[in-house]
Structure 1
Amino acid sequence: MLDVRRMRMLEAVVTLGSVTAAAAELGYTPSAVSQQIGALEKETGTELLERVGRQVRPTAAGRLIAAHSAAIGRRIAEAETALADLRAGRTGSLSLRYFATAGAGLVAPAVAAFRREHPGVRVDLALADPEDPLGAVRRGEADIALVVPLARQGDADELLMAERLAEDPYRVVLPKGHPLAAKRVVDLGRLAGEPWVGNEWPPGPCLELVTDACAEAGFVPGFAVRSEDHATALGFVAAGLGVALMPLLGIGGGHPGVVVRKVRGPQPVRVVQAVRRRTQREGPALRAMLDALREAAGGGR
């Protein structure tokens, strides 16, 4: 393998026209430069410079090596610039996984704000796997995952770290014309005999919050219909098929056929966490995305 430092010395001699000028430019003695070029000639097995009087000029091999040295120098400079941009957060990529109801209310404004400040950073957005929402982060396929942790969370994952990003309180969603729609706050126990609309199926942490709250109020909700998303559930409630408890992020702009009321006794609140790997370097781009998510969350709901 050719010695890059010696190649750069040869390049300087070819560019400047003499060993003495190259030595002065590089901060070496002429003798040291001559020795290093002699060593490079041994590495290549051919003469690289020929003497013409007191001057030297490159052989064909010398010109070839000098040209490659210049190309290497340009690539190194490009690498240094690219690395500086990456370290400063001007380029690179970030991957974010999120759950559906965090998309419009949290992820969209955060990513829009991030892109205004870091237009050169590519952002990869995708829904998390509902059965393994942290898997992509754990495997290094994503930088951040937004999750709602289980209420009865097991032992902490030593590989991951979680930040409490926002609180998302639940509201009672009733059909228009429901007897309780006139109230500003609904006692959860008043809904014990109602048909219920489920808005998370298959079951997950959000359904767990609902059933736990109902259990605390002294009843088990009787689900008349189940849906996989909040928009469909709102339509079911509007049609009079039942009542529901939904998080504010899931309700979004609501539905013209429903009313949304605060709930008490108890009021469920889900926590939204931003999870990442403990070993991950927190560079400027990652910090900026976390700041944007915090800003979008409004410091907690």
Structure 2
Amino acid sequence: MLDARRMQVLRAVVTGGSISSAASNLGYTPSAISQQISALEREAGTALLEKVGRGVRPTAAGSLLAERAAGLADLLADAEADLADLRAGRTGRLRVSYFHTAGVGLIPPAAAKFRAQLPGVRLDLKMIDEGTLGEVTTGEADVAVIVVGREIPESRGIRVQHLVDEPYRVVLPRGHPLSDEEPIDLARLADESWVLGGVGPGGPCEESLRDAFGSAGFAPRIALETENDYATQGFVAAGMGIALQPRLALGIVHPGVVIRDVCRPEPVRRIYTAVREAVADQSATRTLLSTLAEIAAA
């Protein structure tokens, strides 16, 4: 196999026209240069230089390798520049997965701000189930925005960090006796029928709501469950019950409902980021995480 550094020595000899010229330019002794050329000729299996007067000139094989060495130097320079851009966070790609309602008020503005700051970094966005580390565990995603229940998930090679506690709001049909109050004590809703929407059985959202109901001293009477947040509002508007929905799910509000704060306790949905250790310290990743934190806080 040809040695790339020896090829660069050969290029210096061919460009300078002599062993001594190359030695002077590279800061080596002429003997060291000759040894490098001899080793490269053994690797190539043919002579690369021939003497001409007080200097040397390349053979056909020497001209070929010197030319390729020039191309190799340009390729390495480009690679180093690309690597510097990648380390600085100016280029590259980040694969981001997120749960459904984060795609309403969190991910879009964060992605837009991130791209304005780092237009050379490509963001690949994909929706996942809210309660899992998703594709970060398999290496198919670099960053995941997830919902966490009572236990914070752990996985080797993944950093899990708190992003924000997102409050729930109570969704009431218009004309409800408590619709003019705010905030509403959760315990005052103990006798209501409830519509649960977008809450997977046994998932982190269900855990958060069950804990809140328990802290308020009652178990909810579930009238029905839906898979869609807006459908939940529709059933509330129709008088089928009331609901608790996280703030991100309330970007669009049904005309037949009112939204009120709830307290004692205020239920929250705990949102975390999960990041692969391999990319966690990269500049682009840090920029994305800080952007997510800023948007979440707002």
- Look up the match of 1:149: 148
Q: Equivalent residues in 2 for 1:29-178 (5 A)? A: 29-130=29-130, 133-151=132-150, 153=151, 156-157=154-155, 159-178=157-176
User: Is structure 2 residue 285 aligned with structure 1 residue 286?
Assistant: yes
User: Residues of 2 paired with 1:82 and 1:159: CA distance?
Assistant: 26
Alpha carbons 2:179, 2:260 under 8 Å: kept: yes
2:69 aligned partner, one-letter code? S
Root mean square deviation, CA, Å: 2.0
2:59 aligned partner, one-letter code? T
Alpha carbons 2:279, 2:285 under 8 Å: kept: no
User: Residues of 2 paired with 1:206 and 1:125: CA distance?
Assistant: 22
- Look up the match of 1:230: 229
User: Residues of 1 paired with 2:114 and 2:13: CA distance?
Assistant: 48
Q: Equivalent residues in 2 for 1:252-263 (5 A)? A: 252-263=251-262
Unaligned runs of 5+ in 1: none
- Distance 1:11-1:99 versus aligned 2 partners, 3 A rule: same
- Distance 1:45-1:70 versus aligned 2 partners, 3 A rule: same
Detail structure 1 runs of 4+ shifted over 6 Å in the superposition.
Answer: none
Q: Secondary structure at the match of 2:175?
A: coil
- Distance 1:154-1:114 versus aligned 2 partners, 3 A rule: closer
Q: Secondary structure at the match of 1:114?
A: helix
Alpha carbons 1:200, 1:228 under 8 Å: kept: yes
Q: TM-score, normalised by structure 1?
A: 0.91
1:173 aligned partner, one-letter code? V
- Distance 1:255-1:221 versus aligned 2 partners, 3 A rule: same
User: Residues of 1 paired with 2:217 and 2:55: CA distance?
Assistant: 99
User: Residues of 2 paired with 1:58 and 1:276: CA distance?
Assistant: 54
- Distance 1:33-1:159 versus aligned 2 partners, 3 A rule: closer
- Look up the match of 2:193: 195
1:260 Cα offset (Å) = 0.7
User: Residues of 2 paired with 1:279 and 1:136: CA distance?
Assistant: 14
Q: TM-score, normalised by structure 2?
A: 0.92
1:202 aligned partner, one-letter code? G
1:202 Cα offset (Å) = 2.9
Q: Secondary structure at the match of 1:148?
A: strand
- Distance 1:97-1:63 versus aligned 2 partners, 3 A rule: same
- Look up the match of 1:297: 296
1:66 Cα offset (Å) = 0.9
User: Is structure 2 residue 208 aligned with structure 1 residue 205?
Assistant: no
- Distance 1:156-1:38 versus aligned 2 partners, 3 A rule: closer
2:136 aligned partner, one-letter code? V
Alpha carbons 1:200, 1:207 under 8 Å: kept: no
Unaligned runs of 5+ in 2: none
Report how many aligned residue pairs link the two structures: 297
Q: Secondary structure at the match of 2:114?
A: helix
Alpha carbons 2:48, 2:62 under 8 Å: kept: yes
1:201 Cα offset (Å) = 4.1
